[in-house]
A and B are shown apart, each in its own frame.
Chain A
Amino acid sequence: DAKTTQPPSMDCAEGRAANLPCNHSTISGNEYVYWYRQIHSQGPQYIIHGLKNNETNEMASLIITEDRKSSTLILPHATLRDTAVYYCIALNTGNQFYFGTGTSLTVIP
């Protein structure tokens, strides 16, 4: 499975868009990109996943570059409740995924 690289921490002003990058330059053609987040003292929460196309759901948007070597998770209007550690994971069907170190996002009032 492809290794992912994320910045260790980011800040975002409340109400602004939070753009969280993830590098997965060794990703193969059948590996999906998954995003999870973990709010302090809670279990991780699934956010979104994608293969090639950009995806959007009620929580976030996922933008995957055409070469699939990187992606960006976008929280369109960050709130204080979005403060969490965000994990980007790349893997293919049938394998297990392993959390990397993630990005600690702090939303500032």
Chain B
Amino acid sequence: DTEVTQTPKHLVMGMTNKKSLKCEQHMGHRAMYWYKQKAKKPPELMFVYSYEKLSINESVPSRFSPECPNSSLLNLHLHALQPEDSALYLCASSPYGVSSYEQYFGPGTRLTVT
């Protein structure tokens, strides 16, 4: 299995909702990442987990809460989002922790906040 999967593909949520995005990989990779991408812009790094520990938080608002239950799974919990949080959320993984940069990306979850 050489892919990163993300669910759901699309999500529409209201500003008072709580939802979660899920990312999974079974390649034995030890680092996992969340990126946010607005239309026609490059991906922006949000969080990095290395060996299941949060190693980087790029000053992301607390309404985004990451979780890494095990080395194969990464979640992003969403609460009280704003319309400007609508974007494509990308998950990625890499083999050897944060010092390796051949990252494998999932297809993303397209989030719309109404």
Q: A-side interface residues toward B, CB under 8 Å?
A: 32, 34, 36, 38, 42-46, 49, 85, 87, 89, 91, 93-94, 96-102
Contact = CB atoms under 8 A, between A and B. Distances in A.
Interface of B: 4, 42-45, 48, 56, 90, 92, 98-99, 101-108
A52 B48 CA distance: 28
A96 B105 contact: no
With a 10 A CB-CB cut-off, give which of A45, A87, A96, A97 has the most chain B CB atoms.
A96
A34 B107 contact: no
Contacts, number: 45
B105 to A, nearest CB: 3
A97 B105 contact: no
With a 10 A CB-CB cut-off, give which of B43, B48, B107, B108 has the most chain A CB atoms.
B43
B42 A93 contact: no
Contacts of A94: 98-99
30 contacts: A32-B101, A36-B103, A38-B43, A42-B107, A42-B108, A43-B4, A43-B92, A43-B106, A43-B107, A43-B108, A44-B90, A44-B92, A45-B105, A46-B103, A46-B104, A49-B101, A49-B102, A85-B42, A87-B42, A89-B101, A91-B101, A94-B98, A96-B48, A96-B56, A96-B98, A97-B101, A98-B45, A99-B42, A100-B42, A101-B42
